[in-house]
Amino acid sequence: MINKTLAELSSSLKAGEFSSVELTQYFLDRITKHDADLNSFITVTEEQALAGAKNADEQIASGSSGALTGIPIAYKDLFCTDGIRTSCASKMLDNFIAPYNATAVEKLTEAGMPMLGKTNMDEFAMGSSNENSFYGAVKNPWDLERVPGGSSGGSAAAVCAKLAPVALGTDTGGSIRQPASLTGITGIKPTYGRVSRFGMIAYASSLDQGGVFASNAEDCALVLGMMSGFDAKDSTSVDRDVPDFSAALNDSIQGLKIGVPKEFFGEGLDSGIDKVIQEALEEYKKLGAEIVEISLPNTHLAIPSYYVIAPAEASSNLSRFDGVRYGYRCEDPVDLTDMYMRSRGEGFGTEVKRRIMTGTYALSAGYYDAYYLKAQKIRRLISNDFKQAFEKVDVIMGPVSPETAFKIGEKTDDPISMYLADIYTLSLNLAGLPGMSIPAGEANNMPVGLQIIGNYFEEGKMLNIAHQFQQVTDYHKRVPTQFGEEK
């Protein structure tokens, strides 16, 4: 059961091999059995899942089902879900019950996908390890002493351990691609504006984008196609037709020009990861692709510019959490100011406070021009680097992370080291480009992901390129031993 693709599950459901209720219960049972080891879920919605599965079975029986009807899904706990706690893994929203569905959730619910629950994450999506959660760290299914990556680590761990066949995450600076790489699964972040952000609790509004975790590119294509499209409720949503991302999966990639940025292979990259990426590129050569060395000269400026822009937007977005309207409120405040200060001081975790303070400083009088405005100018330079590169190549490839999953607690006292782990992912968000990670091998006995970067709105091409690699390799089929199929 756990090794079936979404298309295979859909065929089995329509053939009557099992019902959606049975399939959903199967995954709920796996969550009950295994999640105490992983801590990948914050909330498990068994009642809603089985009710949704029952409705899906009725649709299948009536012949009105779609490609995803009856297949259960999990959501990162910053997607609002009507009547279900949406906590953002924060004490601040521990008691918040969302009164509506995020657009992505609404579309997939209408497609007939039962919701298994809400997955753990770094608080307000701020982190690269999933250790910054009010509900505790998520464990990597390949090694329970290591991190799964962040901020969407709960979704990645759940899919890796087969507690869910597919899950949604968000990517602000690599938060889908990095955990996908560290857990050995497939994760895609689409072009900024391709998926509605309505109902996604914001971290940095010009960078956030929802995306998909699954075992393979074929599964990602199905779900991404269903959740994409224009949304009048989101002012950053792009009014553009959504192609069938599955249509071109089997197209030949003969003659494809793959750009390899020299800046991605310098000092700081683990030698084992370098070897895995080079071997993956050789596999693409066998498939008929051409490797072209390119330069993205402003890559080294991605981290400093991102860690000005993202915290600045976060300080603005998180100002709404003041203890007045919803969320956490301190006990017995003496006056309004005391309520504001103590509610925010007690409700937010250390990393969130750090980024709010950084962002507030960058936006303050006298520093706006020196920091925020300059960071935005660098952002344009980074975007121009990609524009020039795509005049020479069809796609760009390289590592996702400079290292494999590190031990839990190893970097908690060194936030700068944690930030440096995002060196290869941040620039895509600054430029608004689509990117994905696919399993490409192992280094240090842990999974390694290959990053595929496409031009704007070329998710279909990226998925085709990923799918072709997955037709000749089996890295995406590997499951950690203790989470394998029950006998």
What ranges do the domains of the chain cover? Answer: 6-254+466-482
Of the listed 20, 65, 90, 151, which one is catalytic?
151
pLDDT in tens, 15-31: 999 999 999 999 999 99
The predicted model gives 111-140 an average pLDDT of: 97
CA–chain centroid gap for 481, Å, is: 24
What the block records as the tokens of 8 is: 């295979």
Q: Is 205 exposed, middle or buried (0-12, 13-18, 19+ CB in 10 A)?
A: middle
Q: Is residue 151 reached through a cis peptide bond, with omega within 30 degrees of 0 on the bond before it? A: yes
What the block records as the tokens of 423 is: 């060196």
pLDDT in tens, 159-182: 999 999 999 999 999 999 999 999
CA distance 66 to 57: 12
The predicted model gives 121-148 an average pLDDT of: 97
Asked if 10 is an active-site residue, the reply is no
Asked if 128 is an active-site residue, the reply is no
Quick one: pLDDT at residue 399?
Answer: 98
Quick one: pLDDT at residue 487?
Answer: 53
Quick one: pLDDT at residue 363?
Answer: 93
Candidates 132, 121, 37; CA nearest to 412 is 132
Cβ distance 47 to 91 under 8 Å? no
pLDDT in tens, 401-454: 999 999 999 998 888 888 888 999 999 999 999 999 999 999 999 999 999 999
- pTM value is 0.96
On average, the pLDDT of the chain sits at 96
Quick one: pLDDT at residue 486?
Answer: 67
Of the listed 40, 90, 175, 196, which one is catalytic?
175
Of the listed 19, 40, 65, 76, which one is catalytic?
76
pLDDT in tens, 318-355: 999 999 999 999 999 999 999 999 999 999 999 999 99
Query: Domain 6-254+466-482 is classified in which CATH homologous superfamily?
Result: Amidase signature (AS) domain (3.90.1300.10)
Asked if 151 is an active-site residue, the reply is yes
Identity of the amino acid at 24: T
Task: Give the CA angle between residues 269, 432, 257 to the nearest 5°.
Answer: 60
